Structure 1
C-alpha cells in the first residue's frame, strides 16, 4: 500500500433534537486532504496578495519608458536605475526586447533616472516627479561613447498626460501648505477642482458617490459617503470628507480625478480622491503649528450692537448684546526622519503627526416672553384699528 492509499479518518459531532450526540466517521484519502490543503493555501495567498497589490497600486505611481540609440533603434539589455532623492533608495531593471523598462509601485516623490549600457555613455535624467496613480513616461536616447563618460539630460517641464483620458489635478506638499484652507484638512480642497460644486458633488453625480483613498486603503464613509449626514465633517464648510481626518501637515500628495477615471482604481460615479501620507527621509524634519479662530478677535454684529441686554424684569444691563464667546483651536506637531542604518535589516524611516482640536461653542437664543401687562394678568386684544386694548 502506497502513501497515497493510506486512509485518513475525520470525525464530526452533531447534536440531534433529542440532545444526544453521535459520532460519524468518514475515510478521506490522504492525497485528497493534501490537495484540499494546497488549494486552501493558494486561495488565501490569492486573496491577501490581491489586497496588498491593490493597496500598493492606489498609493503609488509607475515609471516607464523606452531606451534608444542615436538612430532611434531600441537598446536591449540596458541597465536602468531609479534613485529616490529623499532616501537614496534605488530600484534597478533591464530593458526588454523592445527596449522598454518598467518600475511599478513607486512611492510619490522626486527620482533620478540612470541608464547604462556597454558601448554607450552613461545617461542621467534627474528630478523626475512621480505622482500617485499615474504613469511617468521617461524616454532616453543614449549616445555612443565610453562607459566612463556621463551625459546629464535636463529635466523637461510638465507635459500633457497622454496615458489615459482622466481629468483631474495633483497637488504636492508645498502646494497643500500654501493654498488657503480654513479647516486645514486636505479634503476641503476637493471643491477647488473643475466640475465640482460647493457641496462636493462632482460632474453631476450625487456627492455620496465620491471615493476617498488613503495610502491605498478605503477611507470612504460606508453609511452616507459624505461624513456630514450623520457625523460632523472635517471640512470648513461641512463639505465631503473621508472617515479619517487628513491634516495638511500629514499628507504628501493629494490627487482628485473628476471624470473619465480608469476602472483599475475608481469604484463609484463621483470623484476619486487619492491621498498619500508623508514619509521620513535621510534628514530629520518637523513642524509645530497652531491655528486659532476666536470671537475675541472678531467684530460684533450690527444687530447685537443695537440690541440692549436686559434682565428678567426688563431693566437694561448693557446698551448692546455681546458676541457669543467661542473659538476654534487646531494645533499639532509632526516629524520624521531615519530610524537607523541597519534597523530591521536596512534603512528604516519614520514619520508621525499628532493633531488636536478644541472648539467649545455657544450661541444667542431669542425667545418671545410675556410683557409686563401680561405678567400682571392683563390680556390685550387688537381693535379694528389694530390698537391693542385691555
Structure 2
C-alpha cells in the first residue's frame, strides 16, 4: 500500500456567525465534476459529523461549522475516497477541492490540507489572527486592539484623543473616524455607547481569534461605518489544558523625558493570569475559564509655577511691580501686605500649592507623583451539545479598572488634584445553534453588555465646609472636594470642575440568523434588535471656581492674600441624564459561486436607529424661529430634538475572480451607516432651564470675599451658551470600495496589492450658530441673538475622503517561521476629523460662517505606514521563539491653535478657542 500526500488549496473568507463555512468542488482526475458525491466533515474534538452532497457542478457547501480541527473525506461510486485534515477558523469560510482517483488501485489517498491566505470567495479587506500569533506577538499593555495596527489601512489615534485616554486604545481604519468602529465579543456588542470605545479588554490568552474587517465587508455587519472588530473567546477542548503566566516591566530599559532629572520616575507593571479548559462531560460539555490581573505604578514628571515662601507671607517685593491697596489705590509699603490685612482663609488656599522645590520664580516646582492602575478581569465559557444538531454556548465576562491619575485630564500641573477612575464591564452571551441538515443552520443570540464609569476628584472625601469652617460649598457628599482656584501667574489649584461623573450604559441585544446552502448560493438572512439604556450624572462647576486676576491689587497673589476674588462661577449641583434608544437591523447576503473561478457577494442591509430620548424630557433645544430655548417635546420640537431618519438602506457588492490557481482579483463596494454616540445628545442636558451657571463679580458697592464668594443675593446669569441639534440631523454614512490583487507564492506566502478608498457623508460636526463678526468691543451686542452666548449647533454637515495603496505579505508558520508585513500609502482629507476635540486639533471651526475653510488633511493622516510582525524559532532551544513588531510611520499633521479668543468672536468651541495664527513666512 502506498501513501499519497496531496496539498490542496484552502482559501479563507469570512462570515458573521462564530462558526466557519467550508465549500469546494469534487472532480475526477480529468477535472470533470462529480455530482452526488458525498463529503463528510468530522470534528476531532467532539462527535460532531456532518455530510453534504455535491450538485450537478460538483459543488458542495457546509455552513456554520463550529471552529476546530476536522477530518474531511470525499467519496463517490467507482472512485477512491480521499481524506483531508484542516482547521476551521472562527468566522472563516474555507475552500477545499477534492480530486478523486479512479477505483481499482491499491493505494490509500490521504490529503493534508494546508490553509492558505489567498481569498477566492470574498472582496473584503481586513485581517484575521489565530491564537498562535495573538499570544506570541509582543503587545504593549497586552491590549488586543493593538493587533489591528498590523492590518494595512489602519492608523493609530492622534495624541490625547477621547478614545485613547486612560489606558485605552483606539484606531482609524480605511479613513474612518476613531468613533466609527464596532467592537464585538463573540458577536455580542462590546461598545461604550457614550463615545464608542470598547468596554471589556479581554486577555490575549483568552482569545481564540482576532478579526478586523476594514473595507467592503458583507451585509451581516452594521451599526458602525468604520471597522468591525470581532474577538472570539477560547472554548474548552476534548482534553484538559491549563496555563499560567507573569509579565514584568520596569524602568530599567525605558527612556526618561526631559523633566525627569537624573533619576527616572518609578515604573513597574506586573501582569499575571491563569486559565484552564476541558470537558465537563465527555463529548458533550466543555468549559474554559481565565483570570487576568494587572498592576501598574508609574511616576510622572511635570513642572509648575507656585507661590514662593515669602509671597505666602505677604512679601511681594520679588514681583518687580507695585501692589496696590484696593481701597485707597496706594501701593503697599515695600510691596508687603500687612499680616493684619491677610484673609484668614488665604493661608488655607495657599496650602493647596506645594512649596517650591526648584530655583527661580517660574517653573519652580517639579512634581513626580505616581499613577496607580489596577485592572482585573475574568471570563468563563460553557459549550454544551444538547443534541447532535443543537449547540448551546454560554459566556460571562467581567472586568474592572481602578485608576488614579495624579494629573487629571486638561486640569492642572499641580499634584494633589487628580482623579479616581472606576470602570466596570459586564458582557454575557447566550447562543443557540440548530442544524437542519448540511445546508441549513439557524442561530439565535442573546447578548448583554454593561459599562459603567465613575470619575471622582482626588479629594472627593474632603468636606471643605467643615475643614475650612465655611458654608458656601455643596453639602452633599457626592459633591465634596475643593473648589478650583485660578491665581494669575500660577498653576491652577483645586479639584477638577467637570467632576464627578457617574454613568452607566446597558445594551440588550437579540439577533437571529439563518444560513442556507442552496446549490451555488450561500444565503444568509437575519435580524437584530439592540436596546440601549444610559443613565448618569455629569456635574460642572458644582463646587465652583474662583479667579484672582490681579484686577484689584495689580497681582493675582495680592488679590488672594486679601481674600478678594475677581470672578466666581458656580452652577446647579444636580444634572441627571437618562437616555434611551433602540436599533433595528435586517440583512440579506447571497454569496454566489457563479463559476468555479468567480464568486459574487451580493448583500443588502437596512438599519433604523431611533432618535435618543429622555423618559423625563430633561433635555432642551434652541428654537431659531422663536429665538428661545424649548424643552424637548414642546413648542413643536420632538422628544429627541431631531427627526427620525428611516431611509438607511445599505447595499453591498463584491466579486472574487480566480484567473489562475495562484491568482485572485477582488473588488468590492458597500455603503455603511453609523449609529452615532450618546455624547452628541448628552449636550442637550446643559441648557436652561435644567442647567444654569451663575457668575459673580465684585462691584464698587460690594466686593466678593473668600468668606462668601457666592452670595445668595448676588451673581448674575449671563447670556447662556446653548447646545442644540439640527432638526434634520441625519445618520452618518461611509462608502467603501477596493480593488485587490492577491498572489500565492508557492509555499513562501501570499502577497497582496490593493487600492482602497472611502468617502464619508453626513458626518457630525459642531459650529457656533451665534458667532458675531470680528470686531472690538462687547461680544453679545454683536451676536445675531444677543440674549444668548455661543449656540453650539450640532449638524450632520461634515465630509471626508480617503484614498490608499495597500500592500501586504503573509507567511503563516511555514517551517515554524511566521511573517506578516504591511505597507500603506494614503491620504485622508476632511473638514472635521472627530466630533470631540483632541490635543492637536480642537475639531471646531475658526470661523463658523466659513466651514469650507476647514477642509484639510485629517488630523490622523499619515502618508506612509509600514509594519512587520514576525515569529522565528531560536535554533537549539526547543519551544523557544523570537518575536517582534516593527513599525515605521510618517508624522501626523500639526495645527498651531491660539489658547485665547484672538478674533474676539467668542470662539470657545475648542475649550480654549480654535483661532489659528496667520502664516507670515515659510517656517
TM-score, normalised by the number of residues in structure 2:
0.30
Confirm whether residue 180 of structure 1 aligns to residue 138 of structure 2.
yes
1:380 aligned counterpart, secondary structure: helix
> CA separation of 1:304/1:167 partners in 2, compared to 1, >3 Å: closer, same or farther?
closer
Instruction: Choose between structure 1 and 2: higher helix proportion.
Output: 1
- Gapped regions of structure 2 (runs ≥ 5): 1-14, 158-170, 322-333, 336-923
Counterparts of 2:111 and 2:264 in 1: how far apart (Å)? 62
Residue in structure 2 matched with residue 219 of structure 1 by the alignment: 190
Q: How many residues align?
A: 295
Residue 336 of structure 1: which of 259, 272, 277 is its match? 277
Cα contact 1:166–1:261 (8 A) shared by 2 = yes
Confirm whether residue 164 of structure 1 aligns to residue 105 of structure 2.
no
Q: C-alpha offsets along residues 13-68 of structure 1, whole Å, 9 cap, x if unaligned?
A: xxxxxxxxxxxxxxxxxxxxxxxxxxxxxxxxxxxxxxxxxxx9432211011212
Counterparts of 1:347 and 1:381 in 2: how far apart (Å)? 81
Residue 305 of structure 2: which of 365, 368, 373 is its match? 368
Confirm whether residue 144 of structure 1 aligns to residue 102 of structure 2.
yes
Cα contact 1:281–1:338 (8 A) shared by 2 = yes
Deviation of 1:79 (Å): 2.2
> CA separation of 1:58/1:224 partners in 2, compared to 1, >3 Å: closer, same or farther?
farther
Map 1:10-159 to 2 at 5 A.
Answer: 57-87=16-46, 89-127=48-86, 129-145=87-103, 150-156=108-114, 158=116
2:173 aligned counterpart, secondary structure: coil
Map 1:336-355 to 2 at 5 A.
Answer: 336-341=277-282, 346-355=283-292
2:145 aligned counterpart, secondary structure: helix
> CA separation of 1:275/1:304 partners in 2, compared to 1, >3 Å: closer, same or farther?
closer
Cα contact 2:39–2:53 (8 A) shared by 1 = yes
Counterparts of 1:187 and 1:170 in 2: how far apart (Å)? 12
Deviation of 1:149 (Å): 5.6
Cα contact 2:259–2:302 (8 A) shared by 1 = no
Residue in structure 2 matched with residue 359 of structure 1 by the alignment: 296
Cα contact 1:58–1:265 (8 A) shared by 2 = no
Residue in structure 2 matched with residue 255 of structure 1 by the alignment: 211
2:155 aligned counterpart, secondary structure: coil
Confirm whether residue 281 of structure 1 aligns to residue 237 of structure 2.
yes
Counterparts of 1:369 and 1:160 in 2: how far apart (Å)? 63
Deviation of 1:157 (Å): 5.7
Counterparts of 2:115 and 2:274 in 1: how far apart (Å)? 34
Instruction: Choose between structure 1 and 2: higher strand proportion.
Output: 2
Residue in structure 2 matched with residue 292 of structure 1 by the alignment: 248
Cα contact 1:131–1:170 (8 A) shared by 2 = no
> CA separation of 1:364/1:160 partners in 2, compared to 1, >3 Å: closer, same or farther?
closer
1:359 aligned counterpart, secondary structure: strand
- Gapped regions of structure 1 (runs ≥ 5): 1-55, 227-241, 307-321, 384-388
Counterparts of 2:114 and 2:123 in 1: how far apart (Å)? 22
Residue in structure 1 matched with residue 315 of structure 2 by the alignment: 377
Cα contact 1:334–1:353 (8 A) shared by 2 = yes
Residue in structure 1 matched with residue 181 of structure 2 by the alignment: 210
Cα contact 1:117–1:147 (8 A) shared by 2 = no
1:174 aligned counterpart, secondary structure: helix
2:121 aligned counterpart, secondary structure: coil
Q: C-alpha offsets along residues 97-145 of structure 1, whole Å, 9 cap, x if unaligned?
A: 4332211112333322111223211101222x33333321111111121
Deviation of 1:268 (Å): 2.4
> CA separation of 1:287/1:367 partners in 2, compared to 1, >3 Å: closer, same or farther?
same
Cα contact 1:194–1:258 (8 A) shared by 2 = no
Deviation of 1:252 (Å): 0.8
Q: C-alpha offsets along residues 169-204 of structure 1, whole Å, 9 cap, x if unaligned?
A: 111000111111012132221122111111101111
